[in-house]
């Protein structure tokens, strides 16, 4: 996820302080991985330096001054370009799991056990996501669906690999 583009997009809804940007980000996108305040302020500093945001106001308080940031026209154009650029599909051609299976075969370990353990972990994770999806709002449901679809594809790969373990063993031990 592009933190800078996400913060810029949030600023398109109106000027905001760094603290409020962090809260908006966490509420909308960061339930599983909330942003650190330091990351917000270092990102805002970079966006300011690059002319994508401006300081729209400064308020004095008990602590440090609170800057209110606003997106510039250049920032709006940058977000528009980012939104219209498709994400590159990630093919996972060098997955850690594949490496573990091959190494288990090469070293005489139980590759089927590696696959079974991973299958159990995927199923456990899918149960957690299914509960979260059932109890969540629409945003949570969509995020969980995305993760579940990927995990279902992984499970299909695990089954296919388990069915081909003997052939794979022959191939890698030659």
What is the tens place of the pLDDT at every residue in 154-165?
999 999 999 999
79 and 144 in a single domain? The answer is: no
Q: What is the DSSP letter of 117?
A: H
Cα 82 from Cα 64, distance rounded (Å): 33
Q: How confident is the model at residue 94 (pLDDT cuts 50, 70, 90)?
A: low
Q: Among 84, 105, 123, which residue terminates a domain? A: 84
- What pLDDT was estimated at residue 93? 59
Residues in the chain: 174
Would the pTM count as exceeding 0.75? no
Cα 159 from Cα 138, distance rounded (Å): 31
Helix, strand or coil for residue 35? Answer: coil
Is 90 a domain residue? no
Is 153 a domain residue? yes
> What CATH code is carried by the domain that includes residue 63?
1.10.10.10
Would you report the helix, strand and coil content of the chain in percent, each value rounded to 5?
65, 10, 25
Task: Extract the tokens encoding 126.
Answer: 């899918």
78 and 16 in a single domain? The answer is: yes
61 and 130 in a single domain? The answer is: no
Task: Extract the tokens encoding 117.
Answer: 């353990």
Task: Extract the tokens encoding 39.
Answer: 């990351």
Q: Which residues span the domain enclosing 157?
A: 96-172
Task: Judge whether residue 21 has pLDDT over 80.
Answer: yes
How many C-alpha atoms does 79 have within 13 Å on its Cβ side?
A: 20
Q: Among 53, 84, 115, which residue terminates a domain? A: 84
């Amino acid at each position: 996820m592009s933190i800078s583009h996400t913060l810029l997009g949030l600023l398109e809804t109106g000027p905001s302080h760094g603290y409020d940007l962090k809260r908006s980000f966490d509420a909308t996108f960061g339930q599983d991985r909330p942003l650190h305040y330091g990351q917000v302020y270092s990102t805002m500093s970079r966006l300011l330096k690059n002319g994508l945001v401006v300081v729209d106001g400064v308020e004095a308080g008990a602590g440090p001054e609170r800057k209110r940031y606003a997106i510039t026209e250049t920032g709006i154009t940058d977000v528009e370009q980012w939104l219209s650029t498709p994400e590159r599909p990630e093919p996972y051609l060098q997955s850690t799991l594949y490496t573990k299976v091959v190494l288990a075969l090469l070293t005489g370990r139980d590759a089927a056990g590696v696959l079974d353990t991973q299958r159990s972990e995927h199923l456990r994770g899918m149960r957690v996501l299914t509960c979260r999806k059932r109890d969540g709002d629409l945003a949570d449901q969509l995020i969980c669906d995305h993760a579940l679809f990927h995990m279902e594809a992984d499970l299909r790969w695990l089954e296919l690999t388990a069915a081909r373990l003997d052939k794979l063993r022959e191939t890698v031990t030659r």
